[in-house]
Structure 1
């Protein structure tokens, strides 16, 4: 077992607070993931967070806290849009290995890194897509094919909704991991969410173990098919957000 064993307890507590099980194998996967992130980060920009404890709290625990939303535990097929360093998709996959997980990112270098990490930490049934969310959402293979979409991308909720909601099956969920102040963002996004065939269902406040960090899960339910014209072509959602 790694010298980082001291992190076992906070990871275990975080996982168990979501009603899920932890194990030595999962711990070892997280520690190897952390080490590979640090190693790769010297060549490819994956994260500005470089301290071990901060990686564990601000990336791993923040990511796996999506399971505070109980219905995510039932999702069989999930896509992580704008995954970056693999968040929240890889921590979710470590904790629930039975999920069929897809990671999408627009930067080829990051996708190459994530494929290497997935291989080295020995997670299977995980695939990657290099490209823009707007383009793949138009493909029959991906459009409205997922039980859930998760994203911790930095785009505001109006833009992120146009990227993500088209991937969600009717009856499924888009879960956006957001910072502590989301009220204004949600207010501005409500009409866009409706246009895209969904509705705001809940906002869950998340606390990170052994820290003062508080984040939010914005839970959006897909209630009808997204109109075919959405998402618009690449760049449109950012330049002219839905009103």
Structure 2
């Protein structure tokens, strides 16, 4: 067991979830935190700069999603990836994962390119694009078994972004606050319209933080090619079912 307080917290909580982190993975998380702090001195990519908080609010918050992926997924697309969260921690956990990080802000994707180079990760694609445009590319549609999106939008909007990208049998993992039931209830007709179905709302408990949750939406049928609608429309006029 490491003597580093932040690493010890990471290892202990991951172990409690049944996730085993080896020395190489811990080294990658260490380098990730260092790269994030260094880059943030000249370009703001995260408001969280304390090392222990990076491990807690970024890395553990991301690894909490691994329990809901089923077996190690073959591919994952992270929408609005920002500082690489939750996609990059999940890539560190699942080294064979084919990862796509998409963000429309160039300064964020510039950081992601630097980060991936620093970590030496392979099978990672970084896309500077609005997801509405990306999800209309024919060969990108319905090919990803897992889609994640942290702090991006209302779950109705997330569903329109993500469900066109999910393969049938795939799953959207949408981190939310402690009790998103009202938001999710309003979105149920939208899920059905887009070929999805609510699987569950799962609690996520992290040491010292307020309770939060993750909304799991399964893809059960093809998504009509009308969706997602043109760039900006999903957020201006969310679907109502």
2:231 is the counterpart of 1:234: yes
Structure 2 partner of 1:152: 150
Contact 1:38 1:50 in 2 (8 A): yes
Work out the CA distance in 2 between the residues paired with 1:180 and 1:65: 14
Aligned pairs for 1:1-243 (under 5 A) are 5-71=4-70, 73-208=71-206, 210-243=207-240
CA RMSD of superposed structures (Å): 1.4
1:74 deviates by: 3.2
Unaligned runs of 5+ in 2: none
Work out the CA distance in 2 between the residues paired with 1:101 and 1:13: 26
Work out the CA distance in 2 between the residues paired with 1:221 and 1:48: 32
Unaligned runs of 5+ in 1: none
Work out the CA distance in 2 between the residues paired with 1:182 and 1:114: 30
TM-score (norm 2): 0.95
Please give the per-residue CA displacement for 1:17-66, whole angstroms capped at 9, x wherever unaligned: 33222112111111111111111122322111111111110111000110
1:8 deviates by: 2.0
Alignment: residue pair count: 239
Please give the per-residue CA displacement for 1:154-208, whole angstroms capped at 9, x wherever unaligned: 3111111111111000111111011212111101111111111100011110111
Work out the CA distance in 2 between the residues paired with 1:213 and 1:28: 28
Work out the CA distance in 2 between the residues paired with 1:74 and 1:92: 10
Contact 1:14 1:65 in 2 (8 A): no
TM-score (norm 1): 0.94
Segment drifting more, 34-43 vs 171-180? 34-43
* Secondary structure, counterpart of 1:154 in structure 2: coil
Work out the CA distance in 2 between the residues paired with 1:174 and 1:202: 11
Work out the CA distance in 2 between the residues paired with 1:83 and 1:137: 15
* Secondary structure, counterpart of 1:102 in structure 2: strand
Q: Runs of at least 4 residues of structure 1 off by over 3 A?
A: none
1:6 deviates by: 2.0
Contact 1:83 1:153 in 2 (8 A): no
